[in-house]
Structure 1
Amino acid sequence: MRGCKTALAQFLLLPLFPTPPSATHTQNRMPNNNYPDPFIVNPNGEHTHTLILLHGRGDTGSAFGAGVYITRTSSGFSLASLYPGMKFIFPTTKQRYTTGGAAAGYWWREWFDTTSLIYPEEESERQVEGLREAVAYVNELIEAEVANGIPRERIIIGGLSQGCATSIHVLLAQNERMGGFVGMSGWMPFASRVREICGLSPGFGISAILDSEEPVEVKNDESDDEVVPEEGDFPEPPPEKRKEAMMFIREVLLGRSPPGDDEDELEVLKTPVFLGHGDEGLLYPSDSSRERRLHESDEVVDYKLGRNIYTTLRHGLGMDVTWKRYRNFDHWYKEPDEIDDIVDFWGEKCDLFPE
């Protein structure tokens, strides 16, 4: 798995790179079942924004964070240099006994148990305990930032792979609008249930590819057009359907207080969302068997699962979602292309501009 290998390589190379002067491990012990302390890079100037990014399975906040810290845009600048007022927080999950993937039967770091990345909703009840714990933990990190004077609209959350999957539910557990969301090479747990509640059919949009037994016609060119069937214009679900979906996420899935009658409690749905995913091995007309379709895309998380996040958040919950596909790229964030796109997204949607 490229993500884990890359993270390991970054971890092994850490001594070659001097630790940023502002990088620390927080001295404040965090509750919630003994999660390790997060890796934090403090701002170089006046603290104006906070970015909380969650790592993927088998990784750590320090290894993932060190990689993000040295990542450059196409102009050669790091995020820390472009945003000197930004505080970077990279939490680390605790070790769990896992039942899926290459680490099945072992203890390793993951935010929640996942039995299958081909069918991520298979035995989905196993995911609930870890999701609840992780959401509660990351929410306390958010609350700590708010208590330190950073308003929610200046706090951006997100993650890579399973960190993306987890942070989506962290976002939807909030009542107020956040500064933004950045999801990279991820998926959304219980996405099909949310779409069902919102009235989207199982074959809606990209789900038609995943569920269909018939060959699917797709585009095969070098443009930036999506290699998916056109979704067309679909009526958005009424507010009561969105509220019902949010009730499922908060009360049934996460065990938190459901949204009340006040529409302000759904302000979080106004949070702008960025999603990026590689399409390495994406289906073309010559590869139409179901077996090939199930294993296509980035090497770990299927491209269509990432696209399903877009369908669920945009058409199900009515959120403002920016979707970026990266051709012939696998499971990680694409440097510098995706970093450039994130910087553009922050300026266009989050009112956050480089200094």
Structure 2
Amino acid sequence: EGGGRPACTLLYLHAFGRCGAEYLPPLLERLSPGFPAPWLRSGDFAPGLRVVLPTARRLRLPWGPVETSWHGYVSPDSNDVGDPETLEETRRRLARVVREEVELLGGRADRLFLGGLSQGCTAALDVYLREGPRWGLGGFVGSVGFFPSDGAGFAGASRLTRELAAGAQAGRPVWLQSALDDPWVPWEGLVGPSLERAGAL
């Protein structure tokens, strides 16, 4: 609001099959009543915060349905990337958004944060591994995701995770919230091991 330069910006990616508009009224109230959104005038309002809520393109999945998705999946019961080109397209698209948002912040990349929910969390973290160190981004905040890795189809992510942990960007926060009992993004076998590989546990 106000049209001036934002104090900081959050680029936040939605979950699989959802859309960016779900984080704004009227959909937010209907689908997620009580969801704390600091970009809305409520008890959690953060003046000066700009939020960017892109929507993923619609992809036909190997098992039939067409859904908004940041990348294709191997199968309906896997979180692994199934179509590497769909991931590369997301990486390119979001790298452009990062560049544009840094420009809007007058070059203050440390005031740009990335984040997301579920598939959007992991896709945003994949982009953060690339763009965070390049620009000196402010940090990452996400829910119900995991650290991407080459083994899960995120080519180059394993090396970039090690480099992030060893470089100057390691001083910036990476906040990842996940449930221990989530059946879709399970702690055991996925989230926990990804955090161990990243040196976060």
Corresponding residue for residue 270 of structure 1: 171
| Matched letter for residue 54 of structure 2 | P
Q: Secondary structure at the match of 1:278?
A: coil
Which of 87, 106, 110 aligns to 1:153? It is 110
Give 1:89 deviation, angstroms: 0.7
1:300 to 181, 184, 201: 184
The AA in structure 2 aligned to 1:157 is L
Match for residue 159 of structure 2 among 234, 237, 245: 245
Amino acid at match of 1:96: L
Question: Unmatched 5+ residue regions in structure 2?
Answer: none
Say yes or no: does 1:142 pair with 2:106.
no
Deviations 1:230-280 (A, max 9, x none): xxxxxxxxxxxx9x812xx8xxxxxxxxx9xxx9x943343310011122x
The answer on whether the counterparts of 1:55 and 1:90 sit within 8 Å (CA) in structure 2 is yes
Q: Distance in 1 between matches of 2:75 and 2:146?
A: 12
**Distance change in 2, residues 1:245/1:72 (3 Å):** closer
Percent identical pairs in the alignment equals: 23
Could you tell me whether the CA contact under 8 Å between 1:61 and 1:90 is conserved in 2? yes
Equivalent pair of 1:117/1:301 in contact (CA under 8 Å): no
8 A contact 1:118–1:302 mirrored in 2: no
Q: Which residue of 1 aligns with 2:86?
A: 130
Alpha-carbon RMSD: 3.4
Corresponding residue number in structure 2 for 1:92: 55
The TM-score with structure 2 as length reference comes to 0.76
1:173 maps onto 2:156 in alignment: no
Is the alpha carbon distance of 1:303 and 1:45 closer, same or farther for their aligned partners in structure 2, counting shifts above 3 Å?
farther
Q: Cα 1:45–1:69, aligned 2, differ >3 Å: closer, same or farther? A: farther
Task: Pick the aligned partner of 2:196 from 302, 311, 318.
Answer: 311
CA positional deviation for 1:117:
6.2
- For residues 70-116 of structure 1, give each alpha carbon's deviation from its aligned partner in whole angstroms, at most 9, with x where no partner exists: 6338xx9544x2x11100111101101112xxxx3121110101124
- Per-residue deviation at 1:180? 1.1
What runs of 5+ residues in structure 1 fail to find an aligned partner?
1-21, 23-42, 198-241, 250-258, 280-296, 316-320, 324-355
Q: Work out the CA distance in 2 between the residues paired with 1:177 and 1:267.
A: 8
Contact (CA 8 Å) 1:191, 1:308: kept in 2 or not?
A: no
Q: 1: CA distance between counterparts of 2:197 and 2:56? A: 26
Q: 1:106 to 1:72 in 2, by over 3 A?
A: closer
**1:304-355 C-alpha deviation (Å, 9 max, x unpaired):** 3222332232x1xxxxx5x8xxxxxxxxxxxxxxxxxxxxxxxxxxxxxxxx
1:155 maps to amino acid: L
How does the TM-score come out when normalised to structure 1? 0.45
**Post-superposition CA distance 1:21-43 (Å, at most 9, x none):** x4xxxxxxxxxxxxxxxxxxxx7
The 1:57/1:119 distance shift into structure 2, 3 A limit, reads closer
Alpha-carbon distance in 2 for matches of 1:45, 1:78? 22
What is the aligned partner in structure 1 of residue 16 from structure 2? 57
Supply the distance in 2 between the matched residues of 1:106 and 1:193 (Cα, whole angstroms): 22
Structure number with the higher strand fraction is 2
